[in-house]
Structure 1
Amino acid sequence: MTSETPAPAPPYGTPETPRVAVRGEAHLEVDPEIARIDITVSARGKDRRAALDDLTRRNNQLLTLVKTYGPAIEKVENGAFSITPETTPHSRGERIRAYHGRVHVTVELNDFTALGELTTRTADHDMTRTTGPWWSLRPASPAHGEARRRAVRDAVQRAREYADALGARLTALVELADLGAENTPTLGAMPPVPGGLRTRSAYSGTDETPTALDLEPQRQTVYAQVNARFTMTPPQL
């Protein structure tokens, strides 16, 4: 190190330039942006082909129904699919009594009026199980940014209050760190919360459209936390 090279700043405060370290926190209660329902379509047949044909038909009917809701649907995904043989109890050998088929479909919606109607209509389908809704925010929701801004403002306010208590004032920001950057678990949006609906349907014998469920969206809590370090003027002790 030459005489012209400035000495690096110490990682701690000095009597002439004290440091203050604080944590800023914020949490918001906001309305959900999307809701997810999980739908399982089932079929049972005496042979594999019959079970598969019924399962294919019911899955196609479900997807056709979902697509009628247009822009209200954000995402439709087919999940696990299975055809499972059911053997005869206490029989010798591998005598198969029936085949059970299942296919799982996940639907995300942004229109909660459509959600209540679709949930009711899918639950009314033959051999169909509907679970949900799970309410959540989009990963890029503005609520996350607003929570982070509030956490920063909270950190600045806390640091000023500590400095004021010592008769000092803040002079510079030394470090601002998201908790995830310091290998500490980061708190973001709370995980999606189920709304408690769980229905299972067999054919009802009627073509009448059921009355749509009135589903009340569940508010979401968004957290943000930051660590901040500031320098301040010497305190008046």
Structure 2
Amino acid sequence: MTKGTGKVERTADRAEVQVNFETVGATRNEAVELLNERVASVEPVLGRPGVEVRSRQLSVHDNWDGQQRAGSRASQQYVVRTDDLSQLDALLSALVAAEPTWLNGPQWQLARDAEAIREAQREAVADARRRAEGYAEALGARLGTLQRLSDGDGEVWAAEAAGGRALAAYGGAVGAPPQMDQFNLEAQQIVVTVRCTATWILLD
């Protein structure tokens, strides 16, 4: 039995961003009204071609100071995805200009990873075979046919060497928003990893 690993790198062709807007009011209604005003400029941005809103999550709750109610808070969180990376700079600039409470991203992804997974599978099997051939030679035997192959789950993540997220976080600080050209928004390399376990017959 030998284990094999195959790794394939591809350039990311999808980016995902999480952004949150938050307002505080004396009542829940006031907090929600202020939030609606805050995100009014955001919705047209999210309707641009190539931009997909994966989720919208609204939260409204009271604030408490000890046992005393101290106003209300409303927040709207978006998960936004784009497969058109040429639009990413403009998308992030527009979101930051709306002064979110926080913004995280982009998280780099592959829109279609099937071909990369297949290539990594081939490399994993070849790696397992090379290891088996080495053990067979060490034993003075020959490698026979494959008896069993266990397929591990394909794993996809951004390569650590690529430097992590291009825009780690924006905290919504008061003042002019950062310019997107200050950040490196070049698509990162994605590593697709496949692992397998192979069982072989050894021949004399």
1:83 counterpart = 2:50 = no
Q: Is the CA contact (8 Å cut-off) linking 1:169 and 1:232 kept in structure 2?
A: yes
Match of 1:103 in 2: 76
Take 2:89 and 2:146, find their aligned partners in 1: how far apart are those partners?
50
Task: In structure 1, give the amino acid aligned to 2:168.
Answer: L
Take 2:165 and 2:100, find their aligned partners in 1: how far apart are those partners?
22
The match for 1:189 among 156, 164, 167 is 156
1:218 counterpart = 2:196 = no
The match for 2:31 among 44, 47, 51 is 51
1:42 counterpart = 2:22 = yes
1:131 counterpart = 2:101 = no
Q: Is the CA contact (8 Å cut-off) linking 1:124 and 1:203 kept in structure 2?
A: no
Change over 3 Å in CA distance of 1:187–1:95 after alignment to 2: closer
Change over 3 Å in CA distance of 1:188–1:214 after alignment to 2: closer
Q: What displacement does 1:31 show? A: 1.6
Task: In structure 2, give the amino acid aligned to 1:48.
Answer: R
Match of 1:16 in 2: none
Take 2:21 and 2:104, find their aligned partners in 1: how far apart are those partners?
12
Take 1:110 and 1:214, find their aligned partners in 2: how far apart are those partners?
18
Q: What displacement does 1:151 show? A: 0.3
Take 1:191 and 1:220, find their aligned partners in 2: how far apart are those partners?
4
**5+ residue gaps in structure 1?**
1-20, 180-185
The match for 2:90 among 111, 114, 117 is 117
Q: What displacement does 1:115 show? A: 1.5
Take 1:119 and 1:95, find their aligned partners in 2: how far apart are those partners?
36
Structure that is richer in strand per residue: 2
Change over 3 Å in CA distance of 1:50–1:201 after alignment to 2: same
Identity %: 24
1:99 partner SS: strand
Match of 1:17 in 2: none
Change over 3 Å in CA distance of 1:164–1:40 after alignment to 2: same
Change over 3 Å in CA distance of 1:126–1:231 after alignment to 2: closer
The alignment's TM-score, normalised by the length of structure 1, stands at 0.69
Aligned pairs for 1:9-20 (under 5 A) are none
Match of 1:153 in 2: 126
Change over 3 Å in CA distance of 1:50–1:127 after alignment to 2: farther
The alignment's TM-score, normalised by the length of structure 2, stands at 0.79
Change over 3 Å in CA distance of 1:64–1:104 after alignment to 2: same
- Deviation readout 1:9-66 (Å, 9 max, x if unpaired): xxxxxxxxxxxx2211122232223221111012223333222122123334322211
- Higher mean alpha-carbon deviation, 194-203 vs 35-44, is at 194-203
- Higher mean alpha-carbon deviation, 144-153 vs 27-36, is at 27-36
1:200 counterpart = 2:178 = no
Number of aligned residue pairs: give it. Answer: 199
Take 1:32 and 1:130, find their aligned partners in 2: how far apart are those partners?
20
Task: In structure 1, give the amino acid aligned to 2:61.
Answer: T
Take 1:95 and 1:173, find their aligned partners in 2: how far apart are those partners?
69
